[in-house]
Amino acid sequence: MGKALSRIGSSLCGVGVTVIDGNKYIKHRQLGEGAFSYVDEIEDIKDGKLYALKRIICHDSKSEKEAVAEAKATQSLSSKHIIKCRSFEVFKKAPYSEVWLVLEYYDKGTLWDHFQKLKSENKVLKFNEIVRLFRGIVEGVNAIHEAGMVHRDLKPANILLGAENCPVICDLGSLAEASVKISTKKEAQTLEDLASERCTLPYRAPELLSVPVGDYITTSTDIWSLGCILYSLVYLEGPFDSVWLKGDSVHLAVQSAKFDTQKLDELSGPLKALVEQMLDQDPKYRPPADLVNRRLEEII
Ligand SMILES: Nc1ncnc2c1ncn2[C@@H]1O[C@H](COP(=O)(O)OP(=O)(O)OP(=O)(O)O)[C@@H](O)[C@H]1O
C-alpha cells in the first residue's frame, strides 16, 4: 500500500515489472476501458499465468472507498459465475488515487462481443445454448442476492466468457445493499441520480428510472435486467437497445413495456412467459433468481 503512483504507473507503461501485493507482473496489452477505469492484460512473471488488471481512477475519498468495496466484494463472493479477484492495492498520489484489482483473466471477451460476432456471421444462439448461458448468469446473480447484495448493472457487456463459454459476471462497481427503503423525496432523487450514473439505461428497471417514495428498492431491479439479458440471448440485443441507439425515450419504451416478441414466440412459449414475468412493471411480481432457475429447469 501507499507506493508512489508515478513510479508504479511508469513501470507498467514501459518494459518494467510492476509489483502488486507482493507479486511481480509485466503488462501485455489493454483489454478494455470503462468510464473510470482501464483494464490491461498482465502476466505473473513467476508462473506465466495471465490476469486482468483493472485500474480504477479515484478523484476523491468517496470513489476510493467505493473502488475498495468493489475489490472486497469481488473477493468475498464465491461462485464460478462471478469474477474473482486475486488481490488488490491502493496507490495514493494527491490529489487522487488508483485502486488496482488483479482479476482472473477471461480470454473470450464479453457476451456482447459474442453477439456482435454472431450477428456478423448471420447466426443466432441455439435454444440449448441460450438456456445454458442464462442458467449460469442466474446462478451468479443468485449468489449475489444470497449474500444480501444487488448488482444493479447487469448487461451483456458485463458478462465475460471463460473456458467453454462459461458466463462470468464482472464489474461489481455498482453493487449495493439488496433492499433499501426510500422514505423521502430527497432519498428518491439521490438514488435516481446514482442509477443514472451507474446503471446502464436500456437495462435499468422502471423503479430506478423513477424512484417511488415510501417503498423498498430490492433485488427485483436485477431481475428486470435479467429479463433484458434473456431477451438479448434470443435477439442478440436487449429489448430497449434499439430505442436507446435511435435516441428515442427509453423511459417511455420501458414504461409501456413495448418490445417485439415474435422470435420468442417462435422459439419457446415458456421462455417468452419467463421474459414477460421478469419484465413486469411491478417489481413485486418479478420472480426471484432462485425461482427463475427452477423455471429454467422446468423449461429444459
Ligand atoms: N477479468 C477480465 N478478463 C478479461 N477482460 C476483462 C476482465 N475484466 C474486464 N475486462 C474487459 O474490460 C472491460 C471493462 O471492464 P469493467 O466493465 O469491469 O470496467 P468498468 O470501468 O466498470 O466499465 P464500464 O464503465 O463500461 O461499466 C470489459 O468490458 C471487458 O472487455
pLDDT tens digits in sequence order for the chain, 300 residues long:
334 343 444 444 445 789 999 999 999 999 988 888 999 999 999 999 999 999 999 999 999 999 999 999 999 999 999 999 999 999 998 789 999 999 999 999 999 999 999 999 999 999 999 999 999 999 999 999 999 999 999 999 999 999 999 999 999 999 999 999 999 999 999 999 999 999 999 999 999 999 999 999 999 999 999 999 999 999 999 999 999 999 999 999 998 878 899 999 999 999 999 999 999 999 999 999 999 999 999 988
Residue that the C-alpha cell 462497481 belongs to: 173
| Ligand 1 surroundings by CB, under 6 angstroms | 31-32, 34-37, 39, 52, 54, 83, 103-106, 110, 157-158, 160, 170-171, 173
pTM score of the predicted model: 0.92
Cis peptide before 156 (omega within 30 of 0): no
C-alpha of residue 45 to centroid of ligand 1, in Å: 23
Among 87, 126, 108, 130, smallest CA distance to 1 is for: 87
Long-range contacts of 264-273 (CB under 8 A, 24+ apart): 264/231, 264/234, 267/127, 267/130, 267/234, 268/127, 268/299, 270/295, 270/298, 270/299, 271/130, 271/131, 271/230, 271/234, 271/299
Atom of ligand 1 nearest to the CA of 35: 25
Q: Which of 21, 60, 113, 153 is catalytic?
A: 153
Domain at 2-104, CATH from 3.20.130.10, 1.20.1640.10, 3.30.200.20, 3.40.50.1370: 3.30.200.20
C-alpha of residue 261 to centroid of ligand 1, in Å: 30
153 catalytic residue (yes or no): yes
CA 295 from chain centre, in angstroms, equals 23
Cβ(151)–Cβ(168) under 8 Å? no
C-alpha of residue 158 to centroid of ligand 1, in Å: 7
Q: Whose CA is nearest to atom 7 of ligand 1?
A: 52
The reply to whether ipTM tops 0.90 is yes
Give the per-residue pLDDT at 239.
97
Residue that the C-alpha cell 462481443 belongs to: 113
Per-domain boundaries in the chain: 2-104, 111-299
The CATH H-level superfamily of 111-299 is Transferase(Phosphotransferase) domain 1 (1.10.510.10)
Give the per-residue pLDDT at 10.
41
C-alpha of residue 262 to centroid of ligand 1, in Å: 32
Q: Whose CA is nearest to atom 16 of ligand 1?
A: 171
Among 224, 255, 251, smallest CA distance to 238 is for: 224
Q: Whose CA is nearest to atom 20 of ligand 1?
A: 34
Atom of ligand 1 nearest to the CA of 168: 1
Give the per-residue pLDDT at 257.
78
* DSSP E strand boundaries for 73-179: 85-93, 96-104, 149-150, 159-161, 167-169, 176-177
